[in-house]
A and B are shown apart, each in its own frame.
Chain A
Amino acid sequence: MNIIDILKNFSQIQVIDQKGDTVFASVQRENLAYVTTILVNEYGLSLSSLFGSDNRKENQTFGVHVIFGNDSAQQWLKLSTSVPASDPQYPSITKTVMAAHWYERYLQDMFGVVAKGHPDPRRLVNHENIPVGTFPLRKDFALNAKLEKASVPYPMHHVAGEGIFEIPVGPIHAGIIEPGHFRFNVAGERILTLEGKLFFTHKGVEKLLEGKTVEQALPFSERLSGDMAAAHGLAFAQAAEKIAACQVSSRAEHLRTLVCELERITMHIHDLANIGGMGTGYSFIAANGFRIKERMMRLSGIIFGNRFWLGFVIPGGVSFDIDNHKLEKILLISKDACDEMQKIVAQALASDGFLDRLQTTGVLPLEAAKAFGALGIAARGSGLDRDIRRDHPHGAYKEYPIEVARESKGDVHSRYLVRIQELKTSLALIEKIVKNIPAGEIKTAFEIKDGFALGAVESWRGEILCALEIKNGVIERCFPRDPSFCNWALFGIMGPGNIVPDFPLINKSLNLSYSGTDL
């Protein structure tokens, strides 16, 4: 159903504008939670992002913007409300739509805009050391502000009772992984509650982006999460191109899709090896998988001059052309890698001990996946049928529709199978692109204008949604929402009932980005 038709049923909502696939509308702050609930529950829209903006200079208000995805009509809705600076609050959406919970806590920390009645109004981004009343994304907060070292409590869930123990883990872990703190409350080996404390790697990227030109900002986007360089770069470039009304050439679109799929193959091989090998102790799978992944990273080295698919996607196209000889090489090496990995994985799946660890571990029920707004592998492993590549197709995905891989059990095994399936889909797609890539320009003249747009890309982790607003030729506000941001809270559902030693396995089965979440 078209967004415009849906909105006709709401007298509270005013449609402001429609640009491309995005509809802009506004609503009074009292009605925001109500209409959001109806849009999500009755019309099946997904709450895909929520962020604030500081408009005090123009009209003494803060903006609160909710982005909805309307998959059936390939549209987005930006529903905005404004709250007066003198009374920065609005009725919480989280009370009725769970998917908003982290966004609203984030908004409270970064802008000081309070979601009144939020069931869990604790701090999220700001750790103990950040003084009360620090709102980094307000315009009067200086980028290089030197903050005092405060000691504000950062409470975490706690269960008390006879025989209940609490296990704190991190932020520094035993392995070579990113920093995050996890708090287990356990009875024996069984997990009762599990909560994460993140934002250790918070670098203030959103603030850093403000006032920068699109060209200056691109390196920051590519470095939001080191293993998603191509996907984050593309999401940002897409948003900028939509604003500039820049039509990228078909050849460039094909090459961009190619690099995203190569990134997916590299990281899916990594995850299959990491879950299968490091997660269960079946080191044969890890040793072989990491060896195969290294070949993919070297492929990136040969073609792009770096091992992380960096620096290729630029606003307006791609930075250089890849000739047919190199395209053939890409296909050859990735086909080799995928085929070999499938053989290794088949061997793992034939092992009863291996299946015993994966099956029924870390179950995410479909209802929970929907309620929390789970994305990517986590969502599809639980049977949620969502994939930006099909639902909001961009680039070459329009020409080569993909089949969305899905499993229904929601356990680690399901997520493993989804990855195996996606590895096949990606390879098939790469074959099609290499065979059918059209000739033509790779760069289109790109001149930025003022405006707002969304860039949506299905990275290997899941949906990236980059909200970008340009004013006077520079970035006014940019919120690049990493899929991990929506998936971290899922641990509260997946952990309990499992034993503590299964947590690393569950964690690897999601492989969420800390840096991408923490920004």
Chain B
Amino acid sequence: MKSLQLLKILFFGPKVTEDEKKLRDFPEDAAFQEVGEQVALIVKKLYGGRSLRIRAVDGGSTNAEEIELTALNNAYYDIDRFGLSFVASPRHADMLFVTGPVTRNLETAVRTTYEAAPRPCIVVAVGDGACDGGIWKDSYAVVGGVEKVIPVDIKIPGDPPTPTEILRGVLHALKSKV
């Protein structure tokens, strides 16, 4: 019975791939593709044909930035195809993404994450909060932009930045290292 059910799902189950027309309906996807291809070229040059590994650290964001970083992995963006991927430990990372105005309670966590990453490590501040503390910068509970805690290579402003803007930021960061 079970195998019959499986066959039924296989042949008559829901269609699970996106219609290509629907997928390419947005002009921003063409821009994303273009930026991605450039990133792939530079990654090849910089890292000897290997990939670029990114570690994301939340320094006190609203979670909107995290949603956009997660979106980079979905089928529309799929940054793996350009040789980029998110890793679980800073020890495996070539690049750090830090989001949010760094809060007092996360200052140590951000610093130790940076210290745990092998050098050279490219630090990217993602979002308005990470760039300069954003709307929260005057607060007693906030240290301020990421650069107040660790050296920052590039800032990606945005509230939050879109996946395309984030990838463009990565491209700029890599270009400055060539």
Which of A's residues lie within 8 Å of B, judged by CB?
Answer: 127, 129-130, 136, 141-147, 171-172, 174-179, 199-205, 207-208, 219-220, 223-227, 229, 284, 287-288, 290-291, 293-294, 297-298, 301, 306-308, 310, 340, 343-344, 347, 350, 513-515
Residue B65, interface by CB 8 Å: yes
Which A residues are CB-close (under 8 A) to B9? 347, 350
Q: Are A515 and B63 in contact (CB under 8 A)?
A: yes
- In chain B, positions 96-123 with a C-beta closer than 8 Å to chain A are 100-101, 103-107, 109, 113
Tell me the complex Cα distance, A203–B66, Å.
Answer: 17
- Assess whether B38 is interfacial by the CB under 8 Å rule: no
Contact assessment for B66 and A207 in the assembled complex, using a CB-CB cutoff below 8 Å: no
Whole-angstrom distance from the CB of B123 to the nearest CB of chain A? 15
B14 to chain A, nearest CB (A): 4
Closest residue on chain B to residue A278 by CB atoms: B70
Contact among B69, B71, B88, B103 for A203, CB-based, below 8 A: B103
A179-B140 in contact (CB<8A): no
Contacting residue for A227 out of B63, B75, B107, CB 8 A:
B63
Q: In the bound complex, how far is the Cα of B61 from the Cα of A514, in angstroms?
A: 9
Out of B58, B65, B136, which one reaches A204, CB within 8 Å?
B136
The 6 A-B pairs of least Cβ separation, nearest first, read A226-B64, A174-B88, A204-B139, A204-B141, A226-B62, A343-B14
- Tell which of B13, B105, B139, B159 touches A200, judged by Cβ atoms closer than 8 Å: B105
Across the interface, which residues of A come within 8 angstroms of B153, CB to CB?
A: none
Given contacts A172-B113, A343-B14, contact A201 B89 (CB under 8 A): no
Using a CB–CB distance below 8 Å, which chain B residues touch chain A? 5, 9, 13-14, 16, 18, 26, 56-58, 60-71, 73-76, 86, 88-89, 100-101, 103-107, 109, 113, 135-136, 138-142, 159-160, 162
Known: A145-B140, A203-B136. 13 other contacts (CB 8 A): A127-B104, A200-B60, A202-B105, A204-B136, A207-B141, A224-B62, A226-B67, A287-B75, A290-B70, A291-B18, A294-B74, A307-B68, A515-B61
Least Cβ distance of A436 to chain B in Å?
29
**Could you say which residues of chain A place their CB within 8 Å of the CB of B141?**
136, 202-204, 207
Interface pair B64/A227, CB less than 8 Å apart: yes
Contact of B60 with A201 in the complex, beta carbons under 8 Å = yes
Kindly state the separation between the CA atoms of A303 and B133 in the bound complex, as whole angstroms.
Answer: 28
A144, B139: Cβ atoms under 8 Å? yes
Q: Are A291 and B74 in contact, with the CB atoms below 8 A? A: yes
- Residues from chain A with Cβ under 8 Å of B140 in the complex: 136, 141-147, 204, 207
Inter-chain CA distance A278–B175, complex, in Å, is 34
Q: Are A223 and B139 in contact (CB under 8 A)?
A: no
- Which residues from B are CB-within-8-Å of A141? 140
B56 cross-chain contacts in A, Cβ below 8 A: 176
Give A225 to B74 CA distance when docked, in angstroms. Answer: 22
- B-chain residues with CB within 8 Å of residue A514 when the two chains form the complex: 63
Q: A176-B56, A179-B58, A223-B135 are in contact. Are A347 and B14 (CB under 8 A)?
A: yes
Interface core residue of A208, A219, A343, A347 (most chain B CB under 10 Å): A208
The 8 Å CB contact of B139, one of A143, A307, A513, is A143
Partner of B103, one of A176, A202, A207: A202
> How far apart are A419's CB and chain B's nearest CB, in angstroms?
18
Given A147-B140, A227-B67, answer yes or no on A201-B61 (Cβ-Cβ < 8 Å): yes
Q: Return chain A residues, CB-CB under 8 Å to B66.
A: 176-178, 226
Q: Quote the shortest CB–CB distance from B127 to chain A (angstroms).
A: 10
Nearest CB to that of B62 among chain A residues? Answer: A226
Q: A202-B103, A208-B138, A291-B74 are in contact. Are A172 and B62 (CB under 8 A)?
A: no
The answer to whether B71 and A297 touch across the interface, beta carbons within 8 angstroms, is: yes
- CB-based nearest B residue for A513: B63
The smallest C-beta distance from A496 to any residue of chain B, in angstroms, reads 26
Complex A-B: 17 CB contacts under 8 Å: A130-B104, A143-B139, A144-B140, A176-B69, A179-B106, A200-B105, A203-B142, A208-B135, A227-B64, A227-B67, A284-B16, A290-B70, A291-B74, A308-B67, A347-B9, A515-B60, A515-B62
Shortest distance in angstroms between A504's beta carbon and chain B's nearest beta carbon? 13
Whether the Cβ atoms of A203 and B139 lie closer than 8 Å is yes
